[in-house]
């Protein structure tokens, strides 16, 4: 993944100039043409999850509400259930968890 210099702030897949990016995923549920997908990024590229889901060589399934890589919606339906990192000063491992609500998509 690397910046798309002709269409900022978008990122793009580029096998020559892009940086390696890895995302592990699991489809947890599907309903009315929408899916709940768990994502575990192993690298931290700008817009990595959004690009991996939307790109034809990725999952080819843009995140609902993604204005850059999919379609305008009420909001971006991307939720970080858990964040863990090492505090840069204390070295303490910090973890924050906010479980997602039950998967319900009501679309007509």
pLDDT value of residue 100: 76
With a CB cutoff of 8 Å and minimum separation 6, the contacts of 105 are: 31, 32, 34, 64
- Whether residue 108 is predicted with pLDDT greater than 50 in this model: the reply is no
- Whether residue 106 is predicted with pLDDT greater than 70 in this model: the reply is no
For residue 71, give the 3-state DSSP assignment.
coil
Band (107; pLDDT cuts 50, 70, 90): very low
Please provide residue 52's backbone torsions phi and psi, each rounded to the nearest 5 degrees: -60, -35
pLDDT value of residue 104: 54
For residue range 36-93, list pLDDT tens digits in order. Answer: 999 999 999 999 999 999 999 999 999 999 999 999 999 999 999 999 999 999 999 9
pLDDT value of residue 101: 72
For residue range 23-48, list pLDDT tens digits in order. Answer: 999 999 898 889 999 999 999 999 99
For residue 26, give the 3-state DSSP assignment.
strand
CA distance 8 to 15: 19
């Amino acid at each position: 993944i690397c910046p798309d210099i002709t269409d900022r702030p978008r990122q793009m897949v580029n096998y020559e100039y892009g940086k390696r990016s890895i995302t592990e995923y699991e489809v947890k549920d599907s309903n009315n043409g929408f899916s709940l997908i768990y994502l575990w990024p192993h690298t931290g590229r700008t817009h990595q999850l959004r690009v991996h889901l939307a790109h034809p060589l990725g999952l080819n399934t843009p995140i609902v509400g993604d204005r850059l890589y999919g379609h305008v919606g009420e909001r971006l339906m991307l939720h970080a259930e858990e964040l863990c990192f090492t505090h840069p000063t204390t070295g303490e491992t910090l973890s924050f968890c906010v479980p997602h609500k039950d998967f319900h998509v009501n679309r007509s």
